[in-house]
Structure 1
Amino acid sequence: MNQRKHLTLIAAGSAFLASLPLVNVFDHYTWAVRSFLVVAVMCGVGLVVRSMRAPAWAPTGAMALAALLSLTWLYRSHDEFLGVLPSPGTIEHFGQLLRTASEEMSEYATPVGDRDGFLFLATLGVAVVALLVDFFAVVLRRPALAGLPMLAIYSVPVTVDTDTTSPLPFALGAIGFLWLLVTDNVDRVRRFGRRFTGDGRDVDLWEPSPLASAGQRLGLIGIAVAVFIPFVPFAMPAGILDSLGAGGGGGGAGIGNGKNGKSVSMFALLSGQLTRDKAFDMVKVTNVDDDHPFYLRFNVLEDLNSRGFAARPITGGAAVSNGFGKPEWGPSVKATTHQAKIEVTNELAISFMPIYTWPSKIDKLSNQWSFDPKTAVVYSNKDTTAKKTFNITYQRADITPDQLRGAAPLNPGDPALKDLATAPGNPFVKSKVDERIKGLTTEYDKVKALYDFFSPDNGFVYDTSTGPDTSGTKIADFLQNKRGYCAQYAAAFGWMLREAKIPARVAFGFARGGNRSGNTMTLTNFNLHAWTEVYFPGYGWLPFDATPSTAIGGSVATSYLPTAGTAANDDDQLNRPGANGNPSTDPSAPAAQADTHDNPGNTGSSSNSADASTGTKVADFLTSAAGVTLLSVIVLALLLAMPAVARNRTRRRRLTFAAPAPVGTPVPTGDGPTMAVIPDSGVLLAAKQDAHRAWDELVDTMVDYRVPVDEAETPRATVERLVKKERLRDQAESGARLISTAEEHARYARQPLTGRELKSAISAVESAFAVNATRKVRLMARFLPPSVLRRWRTSVSTGSSGVAVSMGRGWDAVMRTLSVRRMVTRRADR
């Protein structure tokens, strides 16, 4: 096969392997099938064009055209010429798919479903990477540069995935890159002609040189270190991974730092955490004197456009040590002061601190954290919440419905509230709002009417599987389908309030936890929650939770808005379900009926519950840092023990000699034990095999103890050298001569020799080698015997060479069959 055509195939395979990390981004494998088809078509076209002796630029252009035609066929706009040729409408359709993917990036959490925009973006990206890899490796003959686009595609799941990225796809991509480098270097070496080893032996074209073998080993070790070192907690000083990954999740499973929420979608983060398959402790709260605290709150979204709610960059406020000002409610409102201790785990690493509102004092928090009175958010541009512990003193107001009904009317000209009371045009939302608030005069009554619209009695059902859709069209779909999760309830309620010219925003935080110990509750990712805040003049921003209370473990009823059905949650025995979505699809089902299998605080009296709890504890331990470390140590120990196990098994097999044959004429072997000539019988073959096995064991023992082996020597010359240079004496010398004599007769005599002393002879020689060797050599011979490692390297090299030769012959045959020149020649011969 022409080497450039061979490199074309390798480049395509390496590019596809490099795209495999995208499995962490998508929920299904549709993207992989489509990407493989596009890369396969590009590779086929490149092979055909390069078989025609075309200019160097022609295959690259042909592959780009093949990618365009493949994308046109996979993502049709129905405006194509002849169904497959792209038209201006096709290009416009591609642009629309890219715009859709860009808009949905901030709305969907990984893994995402098969949405056309994401699928097109992934397929296009893989095609571009395949084209660049081919250009660098085949055209420019600089395969090392191909690592840049391959690394770029791996950075996608690392950036967007909120969970830990699987190391297996990265390892496969690295193998593809090494495959590309090795193929190119083998081709470069082949251009120098035949190769020879130091002893003059001819080296096959596909057999790696010692230097290449060393490079491959170093590359393999480097990949293993890069993949497995991060799993060992003691491998790096504490805090290094946190400081490097503060923007990506702290502990690897937590929420990433969004830099004031502008670069990360809160809706996507919330959806991603709620749909995880297990609970992770994020916050521990000790309420000193508040038996029924409200939700912990860490961020708000105030911007509303056609794409939904989004965060504004927070620039105001002052350091927390400078105080927090006073809340907006007046002296007529009864307020109580409470204290709490808040501990944030490494699973929550964001730039917004979870607090109770309204704070009046925060201890043990550095001045890197500031308080913005407009949003009541404690934030930092330099630090994250991971592993922070602080004390907070806060005020809780007791506001009655009558007080809110008597609140002053809104000032439509207030610049601070004007843009918080407007909504994008949406006919369906407007009609619903007009219908609900018709005839109502006070702001409170309008808010209450819109709030009651989301009641389970009106058909609304809690479901985490509907995705983080908060745009105008999706909000209308949610209001019609009446099925969604807390972020959609909060966004829809806020949208309708703004349509009614009432200032509203969406808040994010934690509902009350279901796992309590005394006055301390543990909040997990399943307790993450979103609700709506409404502004009332003279009272400030007040929370309204439109999500059905029966679906939220730890739902809290406010003094100004008592909610039916919250009594079932007073003991906080519910915990939000994970990947299973709504615990009950029946909106009238009581909260006590919800499936709480994800709540680590729940216990059951049945044996099934005990078994499930034990299984959960085992699974939690295996997925924890200690469990991963233990499994890593066990796997590493097993891998290190494999050479020793293989060596012992080989030794036992070799030293299991055949039964003694009938004794014939004694033959002297020196001062040691005697042997006997075997009569011509059926045991001749077994005796020869015993001698060969004993000699093979002696040679492997020499390799293990770093004794030089010369394959050109006769057995007698080898033993004479051992006796002289290794100073074999007494039983060791006799044993070596015995093994040598047996091997000589097995090789050259008509009848072999036998005896019971072969096994003890080998043991005596090995003992002599061990006495003369250093401690390091003895340990290596015991645990990492070089004879086994050498045999494995030879097997791998021979196997890989055989596979490479077979693949080359196969492709040569295919290309000879499909060669355009051969077809033209045949036609000309006719």
Structure 2
Amino acid sequence: MNRPQGPEQGLRAVVGSALCVAATWASLLALGGLVVGRRWFVVACVAVLLVGAAAAAARALTRVWWAPTAVGAAVAAVGVALRYGAPPGRPQFLPDPGAFRRAWALAREGVAVVNDSFVPMPDVRPGEMLVVVGAIGVLLLVDLAVLGLRVPAVAGLALLALWVPAIVLGFPAGAAPVFWTGVVYLALLAFGAAPQHAHAGRRRRIATTGAGAGLLATVALVAGPPLMDVPGWASVRLPQLGAAPVGPLELSDQLDLRESLGARSAQEVLRYRVTDPTAGPDEAAEGGADDTGPVPTASASGPAARAVDARLVGPFRAFTLASFDGRTWDRVEPEELREWDRSLLLSSDPEVAGTVPDAAAGTLAEVDVVVGTLGERRLPVSTHPRTVQVPGVWGWDAERDEVVGEDATDADLAYSMLVQVPELTADELRAAPVGRPRDADLYTAVPETEHREDVERVVAEITAEAQTPYAQAMALQGWFRSATNFAYDTRVPPARTSDAVWDFLESRRGYCVQFATAMTVMARMLDIPARVGVGFLPGERAEDGTYVVTGRLAHAWPELYFEGQGWVRFEPTPASQTGAPPAWADPFTGVQAPSTIPEEFAGGRATPGPAAGATAPAAPAPATQDEGVPWQAVALTVALGVLVLGGAATLLVMSRRGRRALATTPEHAWSTLRRELARLDVEWSDATTPRGALHDVQRTLVLRTESTLDGAALTAFERLVAAVEGSRYAPAPPAVDPAELDGWVATVRGRVAELVGDRPPAGAGARSARGRS
């Protein structure tokens, strides 16, 4: 390639090489949200620095534009082979064909780790190798564009390669990587634009730079505030909630189950106050922020209360979703919007809609709301029957029970609701048959996916003993809320199939969208009309007695349709994120925990009222600085700490002594085998199924010993896997003799120890299973 000016030389080339290395370092920060730890980053930075130095040295010795790139690639190949292809247990100073083969095998293992891992993936050697190779490749391309071809603008494409994984997977690293990458890239552009002679055109350059900076500052000051007020400019969408946007928040009406939940906004979207409309002036004045005890409720049969607990009004629903294609929820727009009498109730129950609020039909609660940074065309309202007083042009979608406006809400919009909280009980729902809403076929439609029959089998197993639709719904909800079955996780693993519900049931990790979707689809498989509601949890109580709802409390939940009750909310998302389910769906309603057990240790349940809804934990009251701590409290805390540590140590010693005697169930035997193999550096992650664990063990043994389990050891492992699967999934788990379980564990452990011996683990195999988290 003929270039009149030739490649960069001299001091300029050294400065350019330093900028190329710095730009690659800055772009590496983009992977911070994808990989845990920092070792990979340090190793990659060192590798980039060494390869950059080699290329710079080659450039000082030759004027051939492609030679530095070739030298850098050769140095990189040798370095990668020496670090990642060295024989296990000893260093290697000169590469040989075996080193390159081992490095290639480790690279293939890295690809498998990436494919099987959950984000963020652990910092393991195979994954580290892929990052190092990618970083070196980006450096060589940037160096070639800036110094060899002298087209620094093209270097941006190479730098973008390190950003693509984070962008595609939806795990951005934050503002700092963007800032530093942008700064260094601008420096590269300035480097390329600078003339060979530094003093050429100095005054003109100074004048142009000053004028450009002044123009940018003026545009930012003048245009910035109006742009921030444009609706949707910084909208926050479920499930990808942005971090601290500067504009109005907007809930997404299209939920993709393959997206992870990003950093959620702390902006205040609503602030409201709940009062008892039947309380007298004196009683209303007595209640307020100073009332820190349990908030009494008003009822038709009892005396008026001073205040009403926000949990009574339940979450604030903005809209519902009914159309699901196996991966994504889409909103169905209403055919018509009706005007309504602002003094009458709006409800999904046709028998209640259009009636006058009646204290005899449930608890009445007055809710006064002020909108914060919320730009939403659907007004967040209680899921219970309510009147709505709101200024402006709004219509009611009777089919979905949504209040829809011509324009989006804006800051300081005030509206009020008189909520009629029904005293709905589990007994009433047990006796209620499944209802048939309008467009019932839409609410019972299940997408035809490759794993539909698998999901249906799971539904049949969960609800095998349920005799009524309500019992089936409770069985599903209880199964999802069990901490032994599922874990709340805002990071969704990569898709394995085209059926997002099946992927969730396999990974057992997700957040509200996954839990709500799975229960909705499974309810539809039982011919129960179901949909997903989207809105906000009730919020946290402030010092002035109001409740504050932020973007962090955006939430999704399932609603099922029962005859005579309309759409009824359930809560499958774990209590750690949502609090207790509503009273009619709470199996512990009416069960009082012992008074000596604090509420937070009693399953996260507050004492339920007539219709308690889910709520986020209240913020703790700030402690004053002059508040002293009694010495008795300190002594008691220390004594309890000593007792807890002593008890933990005793249990640890006893568990170590009695490990072999604890394998009385398949799960105990499985835990024992996993612990024993981990000591031999043969591991698998919590997300791996029993059959997948067997596969991982075999692959690890192949990479470390070129052998696999066979004969009695393989048979023992397979029988233990079958026993564990039976105990987890079979309706009637088969009984297994503890002696057999111990024998299987001993056989597998002995054979693995025999194969592994005293060999140190190879990077390709010993940590292969750790890559799945």
TM tier, smaller: 0.5 to 0.7
34 and 599 in structure 1: CA distance in 2 versus 1, 3 angstrom threshold? farther
The 10-residue stretch of structure 1 (85-94 or 16-25) with the greater mean CA deviation from structure 2? 85-94
Contact 1:478 1:488 in 2 (8 A): no
Select 1:404's aligned residue among 429, 432, 446.
429
7 and 374 in structure 1: CA distance in 2 versus 1, 3 angstrom threshold? farther
CA distance in 1, matches of 2:318, 2:259: 11
Q: Deviations over 1:18-71 (max 9, x none)?
A: 426637745644564465356446635644664675854565677789889999
**How many pairs align?**
544
- 1:286 and 2:316 equivalent? no
What residue in structure 2 maps to residue 177 of structure 1? 185
Q: TM-score, normalised by structure 2?
A: 0.53
Select 1:602's aligned residue among 596, 609, 621.
621
Counterpart amino acid of residue 315 in structure 1 = E
Q: Deviations over 1:303-328 (max 9, x none)?
A: 6677xx64214434555768999755
- Segments of structure 1 that go 5 or more residues without pairing to the other structure are 197-207, 569-573, 575-582, 611-830
Counterpart amino acid of residue 180 in structure 1 = L
147 and 322 in structure 1: CA distance in 2 versus 1, 3 angstrom threshold? farther
184 and 453 in structure 1: CA distance in 2 versus 1, 3 angstrom threshold? closer
Q: Which has the higher helix share?
A: 1
Select 2:330's aligned residue among 312, 327, 333.
312
- 1:247 and 2:240 equivalent? no
Select 2:152's aligned residue among 143, 153, 175.
143
Select 2:382's aligned residue among 334, 351, 356.
356
In the TM superposition, 1:270-281 aligns within 5 A as: 272-273=263-264, 280-281=267-268
Select 1:509's aligned residue among 502, 525, 535.
535
158 and 598 in structure 1: CA distance in 2 versus 1, 3 angstrom threshold? farther
Counterpart amino acid of residue 282 in structure 1 = V
Contact 1:360 1:394 in 2 (8 A): yes
Q: Secondary structure at the match of 2:196?
A: helix
- 1:329 and 2:316 equivalent? no
Shift, 1:438, TM fit: 2.0
- 1:298 and 2:323 equivalent? no
13 and 422 in structure 1: CA distance in 2 versus 1, 3 angstrom threshold? same
What residue in structure 2 maps to residue 622 of structure 1? none
218 and 95 in structure 1: CA distance in 2 versus 1, 3 angstrom threshold? farther
What residue in structure 1 maps to residue 769 of structure 2? none
CA distance in 2, matches of 1:327, 1:113: 46
The 10-residue stretch of structure 1 (438-447 or 408-417) with the greater mean CA deviation from structure 2? 408-417
Contact 1:462 1:486 in 2 (8 A): no
Shift, 1:401, TM fit: 3.8
Shift, 1:441, TM fit: 3.1
Q: Deviations over 1:271-296 (max 9, x none)?
A: x33xx8xx653321234657321111
**Quick one: percent identity of the two aligned structures?**
20
- 1:544 and 2:570 equivalent? yes
- Segments of structure 2 that go 5 or more residues without pairing to the other structure are 1-8, 88-95, 237-241, 278-307, 354-360, 494-499, 608-614, 630-773
128 and 176 in structure 1: CA distance in 2 versus 1, 3 angstrom threshold? same
What residue in structure 1 maps to residue 21 of structure 2? 13
Shift, 1:542, TM fit: 1.4
Contact 1:343 1:388 in 2 (8 A): yes
Contact 1:505 1:532 in 2 (8 A): yes
29 and 427 in structure 1: CA distance in 2 versus 1, 3 angstrom threshold? farther
What residue in structure 2 maps to residue 447 of structure 1? 473
What residue in structure 1 maps to residue 560 of structure 2? 534
Counterpart amino acid of residue 602 in structure 1 = A
Contact 1:18 1:154 in 2 (8 A): no
Output the aligned Cα RMSD: 6.1
In the TM superposition, 1:336-735 aligns within 5 A as: 340-346=367-373, 348=374, 353-357=379-383, 364=390, 376=401, 383=408, 388-392=413-417, 396-409=421-434, 415-420=441-446, 425=451, 433-453=459-479, 467-468=491-492, 472-478=502-508, 490=516, 493-494=519-520, 496-498=522-524, 500=526, 502-516=528-542, 520-525=546-551, 527-537=553-563, 539-547=565-573, 551=576, 555=580, 557-559=582-584, 563-564=588-589, 588=603, 599-600=618-619, 602-604=621-623, 607=626
Counterpart amino acid of residue 547 in structure 2 = M
Contact 1:246 1:384 in 2 (8 A): no
Contact 2:250 2:375 in 1 (8 A): yes
Q: TM-score, normalised by structure 1?
A: 0.50
37 and 152 in structure 1: CA distance in 2 versus 1, 3 angstrom threshold? same
Q: Secondary structure at the match of 2:197?
A: helix
Q: Secondary structure at the match of 1:9?
A: helix
Select 1:260's aligned residue among 220, 242, 253.
253
Q: Secondary structure at the match of 1:297?
A: strand
Counterpart amino acid of residue 268 in structure 2 = D
Counterpart amino acid of residue 505 in structure 2 = I
Q: Deviations over 1:212-269 (max 9, x none)?
A: 677788899899x69xx98xxx876644224283236596278964652357978614
Shift, 1:445, TM fit: 1.8
Shift, 1:519, TM fit: 6.8
Counterpart amino acid of residue 298 in structure 1 = A
Contact 1:288 1:519 in 2 (8 A): no
What residue in structure 2 maps to residue 134 of structure 1? 143
Q: Deviations over 1:86-129 (max 9, x none)?
A: 9999999888788779xx7xxx7xxx564899989987886676
Contact 2:316 2:536 in 1 (8 A): yes
Contact 1:302 1:310 in 2 (8 A): no
Counterpart amino acid of residue 511 in structure 1 = L
Counterpart amino acid of residue 344 in structure 1 = V
Which has more radius of gyration?
Answer: 1
CA distance in 2, matches of 1:70, 1:297: 58
Q: Secondary structure at the match of 1:188?
A: coil
CA distance in 1, matches of 2:346, 2:417: 15
464 and 158 in structure 1: CA distance in 2 versus 1, 3 angstrom threshold? same
Q: Secondary structure at the match of 1:450?
A: helix
Q: Deviations over 1:630-668 (max 9, x none)?
A: xxxxxxxxxxxxxxxxxxxxxxxxxxxxxxxxxxxxxxx
CA distance in 1, matches of 2:157, 2:525: 49
Contact 1:250 1:386 in 2 (8 A): no
Shift, 1:442, TM fit: 1.9
CA distance in 2, matches of 1:392, 1:164: 41
Counterpart amino acid of residue 261 in structure 1 = Q
- 1:36 and 2:49 equivalent? no
Shift, 1:544, TM fit: 0.9
Greater RCO (CA < 8 Å, at least 6 residues apart)? 2
CA distance in 2, matches of 1:31, 1:563: 48
